[in-house]
Chain A
Amino acid sequence: MIAEAGLAALWFAAAMALMQLAMAALGLRLKQDQLVEAVRPVAIVQGALAALSFGLLILLFLRSDMSVLLVAQNSHSAKPWLYKFAGAWGNHEGSMLLWVTVLALAGAAIALLEKKLDRATLTATLGAQAFIALGFYAFLLIASSPFTRLDPPALDGMGLNPLLQDPGLAFHPPTLYFGYVGLSIAFSFAVGAMLTGEVGAAFARAMRPWVLGAWVFLTIGITAGSYWAYYELGWGGWWFWDPVENASLMPWLAATALLHSVNVLAARDGLRAWTLMLAVVAFSMSMVGTFLVRSGILTSVHAFAVDPTRGSFILVLLALYIGGALALYGLRVGRVKAGQGFDLLSREGGLVLNNLLLSVILGIVLIGTLYPIVAQAMGEQLSVGPPFFNKAAGPIALALVAAMAAGPLLNWRRDHLNPLLAKLTVPATLAVLVMAGTFAAAPDAGWMEIVGLGLAAGLAVASFAPLWKRKLRRVPLFTWGMMIAHFGVAVSVAGMAADSAFTSERLVAARYGQPYYVGPWRVVLNGVAPVIGDNWSAVEGRVTASRGPVDGPMLLLRPQRRYYSSPPTDTAEASISTRIDGQLYAVLGQQDAQGRWQLRLWWKPFVTLIWFGGGLVALGGALSLLGRVKRERRNARRREEAEW
């Protein structure tokens, strides 16, 4: 009965979405206040029903109900409960249901919390949100129902892909989805504003927390995904420019640009049309990414189900929503009044530069991701890999880092060159010194790495320059958030440059007891022993490592080769030891005919800074969000008091 109840809840939620759309459209068109009033409660009920449906799917997975096709295909009764739980969204149907649930809950949240928007725009926004949700309900109910029964029931399930059996990955997709769906809200806001023509500071202030929240989740998702790929896939890298990675990076780039332009709109009522465009583009990138990943159009190490029917369905939704929004943009934006003007050298000008650079990087990633399909259209098989992306996007990213150091030091509306240069003296000097020092110490490091390290040092100092000559207690929370986020970028860039410039790698056919050297480390394979886990068995290498004197302190590393029985898969579990100045990374390979074990070793100086920086960026975003919400609350209270 649980599966049927879940399906019923899903149908009811879809019906609520249809009602929400119809009431919003009719209410606005016929100016019927009663209809408009009813849109909010309907949105709340829709959210509750979708959540109920998803909750029931989780229950089916937790109970290992093998009479449900999805459970039989993606779960196994012998799995640890955490992965039964995560199995609910570790597959195509479940993740689509999660998507629509988050979408519906977000709509409910807008209906409950949003008080700044005028009622017409809010109603149009909820209508647009329902319209998006309807497409996904249709997709689930027609093309890929998660509640299909299996008759007769399976004896046991087929299991979850062992690569996905990792606590990090269990919570990675929901995090990204919160980000994607948060952007759908910005999209709905933009559509609502284009329909009613109300684009101004109030609109930007209403949209900003949603963009910030989505961006924080995307940042966490990308950072966690990168670390997961790094330690789970055992290839020693943290970013591969894989289509699936790009699918999450592209919305992040657009959201970052949007976040900055929405600030211009909120503070100075400028960049109106551009902000609307970015809101549409950011969500478009989430959808394009989903389409590329789900349709099997692009091959990737972690592409989901290859299924042209599903691909066509998503493509139709894509064409409908994004094509519709862009057409609306073409029709309506001409009527949106231009906002306030500003000088080229001003905070606004800096933010425009930021937007341009981010857009160029976004363009490069998009072209690089789509190019294999274009090439195939011309009869050629090829893939675009890291060499292209690094060369094309790297220099622009470095320019962006330099611009980030200067931007926050500019005044709104108009500024002058000399005071700016004076404020930048210390960071610029530091940057040049670090570049010179790195070049002297490691002339082979490569120019991008050397410049990257220098700019990172400069940005790290410049990030906190806005504190200069200000009382610390009086600096608002969102300014702290901005500074911490910018500092986080500096930390990440330093990690990326250090990893790329100074990593040492060794691949050895190891004999027991013989020392091998990687970077400053002396590494010995002492033995290989079998071990048993919850639902896997493995051979485990016992590797000791030391640096400095031979009798110095020892580290023990235990890289494994695991064998999972359901479904049968071999995986390599890297063993990583984190030191203060980097990570030692070991992967156990096959045994050869002479009894030697393949052992892959990396010494990665300061690589952890990449993810630590990502965490700081997310933290900065979260603080900023908190600061904005607090200030809005206070302002609202003041307005109320003034009215009394």
Chain B
Amino acid sequence: MRCWALWVPLVVFLGVVALGAWRLTGTSETVVKSALVGKPLPEFSLPAMVEGKPGLSRADLATGKPRLLNVFASWCVPCIAEAPQLMRLKQAGVEIDAVAIRDRPEAVAAFLARNGDPYARIGNDQERRVQIGIGSAGVPETFVIDGQGRIAAQHIGDIRAEDVPKLLKALEAAR
């Protein structure tokens, strides 16, 4: 057998590896476009989760100003990790609403007392119906909602420090 032919499989394989590596590193965006991006939020109305803070309905999210909708739960570990970033966003003047998933009022109150409270409103989604309706699969997830109540972007997983500028940019773009 000719000598160079023996190396063809390795070359082809390295091509596949390069392709995989490019795909993994090149576009590792955490702001994922979901099927619902660009679509209006569905009609919903959730009761209040904690005392002294209003619940959440669709109308609250179409106020003419872009805002964030954070899906969280007190029992979710990554939600603790992202709490400081949400506080940073709040200090930057962003309005943030939340949907709390399958939670108890006292657990949420304790969570907010411990990790800070960036939210204007918190809806109580016991059955996860709203979460499914807006195309969220887990906690935490964060949606950028434009002034008309449409989903402008979806961030899956916890918000890290490096995601904050991206989210601010997405909010700016949704204006």
Contacts and interface: CB of A to CB of B under 8 A. Distances in A.
Partners in one complex: yes
B16 A370 contact: yes
B10 A326 contact: yes
Interface in B1-57: 1, 3, 6-7, 9-10, 13-14, 16-17, 19-25, 28
A297 interface: yes
B19 A333 contact: no
Contacts of B1: 273, 333-334
Contacts of B128: 567-568
Contacts of A326: 9-10, 13
A295 interface: yes
A376 interface: yes
Interface string B57-73: 00000000000000000
Interface in A306-343: 306, 308, 311-312, 315, 318-319, 322-323, 326-327, 329-330, 333-334
Contacts of A308: 24-25, 28
A330 B77 contact: no
B10 A377 contact: no
Contacts of A312: 21, 24-25
Interface centre among B25, B75, B127 (most CB of A within 10 A): B75
B19 A334 contact: no
B17 A318 contact: yes
A376 B23 contact: yes
B28 A297 contact: no
A150 interface: yes
Given A297-B20, A376-B23, A323 B13 contact: yes
Nearest to B128: A568
Contacts of B3: 334
B10 A315 contact: no
Interface residues of B, number: 25
A565 B156 CA distance: 22
A152 B57 CA distance: 32
A565 B128 CA distance: 9
Nearest to B21: A315
A277 B9 contact: yes
Contact of A329 (B10, B16, B17): B10
Given A312-B24, A567-B128, A370 B6 contact: no
B35 to A, nearest CB: 11
Nearest to A374: B19
B123 to A, nearest CB: 16
B132 interface: yes
A370 B19 contact: yes
B114 interface: no
B154 to A, nearest CB: 13
Given A308-B24, A311-B24, A568-B127, A323 B9 contact: no
A284 interface: yes
Contacts of B156: 306
Contacts of B9: 277, 280-281, 326, 329-330
A1 interface: no
Contacts of B19: 370, 373-374, 377
A48 interface: no
Interface of A: 69, 150, 154-155, 273, 277, 280-281, 284, 288, 291, 295, 297, 306, 308, 311-312, 315, 318-319, 322-323, 326-327, 329-330, 333-334, 370, 373-374, 376-377, 565, 567-569
Interface of B: 1, 3, 6-7, 9-10, 13-14, 16-17, 19-25, 28, 75, 77, 127-129, 132, 156
